[in-house]
Structure 1
Amino acid sequence: MQPWALISPASRGIGLHLARHLLQNTKLPIVTTARTDLDQAKEQILNGLHDVDEKRVHILKLDVLDESTIQDAASACSDLFPKKEHYLHLSYAVPGILFPEKSPQQIDYDDALLTFRTNTLGPMMMLKHFSPFLPRKSTQLAQDPSLPKTAVWATMSARVGSITDNQLGGWYSYRASKAAVNQVTKTFDNHLRTQSGEKAMAISLHPGTVKTDFSKEFWGGVKEGKLFSPEFSAGKLYEVVVDRTLDHRGKCFDWKGEEVPP
């Protein structure tokens, strides 16, 4: 069976650099997604990677706020990678949005709803449509040191999604959406135990504070040495996933590979 990878979205930030990192460090064909400007997104992914075969990169339209685009992207993947010959070995679902409410009075209903739709429901709908591509118990996995030993579905979470670790408060909708991501991850992993056995697992990831437009408002408050470039973060999140074992399934890990408590 031939493995492939999924990174969504990959038009900018961590997703873009995850795609670039996988192209340089694995042999996998990679499905990437963007909401708009697909040609431009593919050009950014391949920019400067002269030794990479551009045929390894497939760019599909996908908007986590529109389930029909998720379904259409999954249908396109069925054509690209027929299930009788291929399986999804490595997936990063990394959509994210943040409205940093400092007090309850700053909570805006529409902003909070958009936060949950993007951060939680988006990845949930992705696993609905893409989980059939993950290996079954009978699937013969590829043996490749550049890949995790078992297929991994990784969803972007955050340390502030940890209820145990919450000492500061604030960020109500973002914290709650990421705590929900961790619950979705655990629940999905329970499903994979039945569907895939030891051939696939789900985890969530905390990338640290990364120097992207997403976190630009908070760069000034980050301790020295704790503000990471997206290239650094992508490399670390790749290492974390490759190093996971079945003992780690259903849990959340930071960029150092340390568990973030629920």
Structure 2
Amino acid sequence: MQAWTLVTPASRGIGLEIARRLLKTTNIPLVATARKDPDQTRENILTGLDGIEQDRLHVLKVDVLDEATIELAAADCESLFPRKTNYLHLAFALPGLLFPEKSPTQISYDDALLTFRTNTLGPMMLLKHFSPLLPRKSTQLATTDGLPPQAVWATLSARVGSISDNNLGGWYSYRASKAAVNQITKTFDNHLKSSAGDKAMAISLHPGTVKTGLSKEFWGNVKKGKLFEADFAAEKLVQVVNGRQIEDRGRCWDWKGEEVPP
């Protein structure tokens, strides 16, 4: 069986850098997604990657707010990588949006709804349509340098999604949406136990505070040495995923490889 990987979205920030890292550190096909302008995203991913086989990269259009685009992209992937001879070995589901409500009076219904549609329903719809492409119990897994031993579905979460670690409050919709991501991860992993056994698992990831548009408003409040460039965060997250054992399944892990409590 042949393996392939997925990074969605990959048009900027952490997703862009994870896509670039996987192209550099593995030799298998990569599917990246962009909400708009896939050609520009392809150019951004490949810039400076001399010696990479460019036909390994496929860029598809996906808007996590539009389920039809997710369904179409999954169908395209099945055409590119038929299930009889291929399987999805590693997926990074990375959609994210933040409206930082400091008090209950700042909560906007529309902003909160958009947060949940992006941060929670987005990953849920991605796993709905792409999960059939993950291995089954009968799948013969490929051994590939730069990838974990078992297939992994990794969803971007955040430390603020931890209920037991919430000592500051605020950020109501973002915290709740990321707590929901961790619940989805656990629930999906239970499904994978039945469908794939030890051959596939789900985890969620906390990247730290990364220098992207999502966190720009808070850069000045971050302690020295704790604001990460996107390429550093990508490197660490790929290392964390590659270092997970099957007993780590269903949980949230930070960029250092330490568990984030539920």
User: Secondary structure of 2:197's partner?
Assistant: coil
Query: What is the match of residue 70 of structure 1?
Result: 70
User: Secondary structure of 2:84's partner?
Assistant: coil
User: Secondary structure of 1:198's partner?
Assistant: helix
Query: What is the match of residue 95 of structure 2?
Result: 95
Cα separation, 2, equivalents of 1:226 and 1:249: 27
1:29-40 mapped onto 2 (5 Å cutoff):
29-40=29-40
Cα separation, 2, equivalents of 1:36 and 1:70: 13
Say whether the 8 Å CA contact 2:156–2:205 is kept in structure 1.
Answer: yes
User: Secondary structure of 2:198's partner?
Assistant: coil
Residue-by-residue CA offset, 1:40-83 (whole Å, 9 max, x unaligned): 00000000101111101100000000000000000100110000
Cα separation, 1, equivalents of 2:145 and 2:54: 23
Say whether the 8 Å CA contact 2:203–2:249 is kept in structure 1.
Answer: yes
User: Secondary structure of 1:187's partner?
Assistant: helix
Query: What is the match of residue 161 of structure 1?
Result: 161
Cα separation, 2, equivalents of 1:57 and 1:212: 24
Residue-by-residue CA offset, 1:147-193 (whole Å, 9 max, x unaligned): 10100000000000000000000000000000000000000000000
Q: Which runs of 5+ in 1 are unaligned?
A: none
Say whether the 8 Å CA contact 2:26–2:145 is kept in structure 1.
Answer: no
Letter in 1 for 2:227: L
Cα separation, 1, equivalents of 2:30 and 2:200: 18
Cα separation, 2, equivalents of 1:9 and 1:145: 23
Letter in 2 for 1:48: G
Say whether the 8 Å CA contact 2:25–2:145 is kept in structure 1.
Answer: no
Query: What is the match of residue 243 of structure 1?
Result: 243
- Scaled by the length of structure 1, the TM-score of the pair is 0.99
1:122-137 mapped onto 2 (5 Å cutoff):
122-137=122-137
Number of residues paired by the alignment?
A: 262
Cα separation, 2, equivalents of 1:39 and 1:246: 37
Moved over 3 A (4+): none
TM superposition shift of 1:146: 1.6
- Scaled by the length of structure 2, the TM-score of the pair is 0.99
State whether structure 2 residue 228 is matched by structure 1 residue 232.
no
User: Secondary structure of 1:152's partner?
Assistant: strand
Query: What is the match of residue 45 of structure 1?
Result: 45
Cα separation, 1, equivalents of 2:255 and 2:171: 21
- Greater mean deviation of Cα atoms: 139-148 or 82-91: 139-148
Cα separation, 2, equivalents of 1:36 and 1:45: 14
Cα separation, 2, equivalents of 1:158 and 1:137: 31
- Greater mean deviation of Cα atoms: 142-151 or 232-241: 142-151
Query: What is the match of residue 7 of structure 2?
Result: 7
Query: What is the match of residue 186 of structure 1?
Result: 186
- Greater mean deviation of Cα atoms: 101-110 or 48-57: 48-57
Query: What is the match of residue 201 of structure 2?
Result: 201
- Greater mean deviation of Cα atoms: 126-135 or 136-145: 136-145
Letter in 1 for 2:207: P
TM superposition shift of 1:215: 0.8
1:80-159 mapped onto 2 (5 Å cutoff):
80-159=80-159
Residue-by-residue CA offset, 1:114-162 (whole Å, 9 max, x unaligned): 0000000000000000000000001011112421010000000000000
User: Secondary structure of 1:153's partner?
Assistant: strand
Cα separation, 2, equivalents of 1:44 and 1:230: 14
User: Secondary structure of 1:204's partner?
Assistant: strand
Cα separation, 1, equivalents of 2:14 and 2:183: 22
Note the aligned Cα RMSD (angstroms).
0.5
Letter in 2 for 1:82: P
Cα separation, 1, equivalents of 2:157 and 2:14: 13
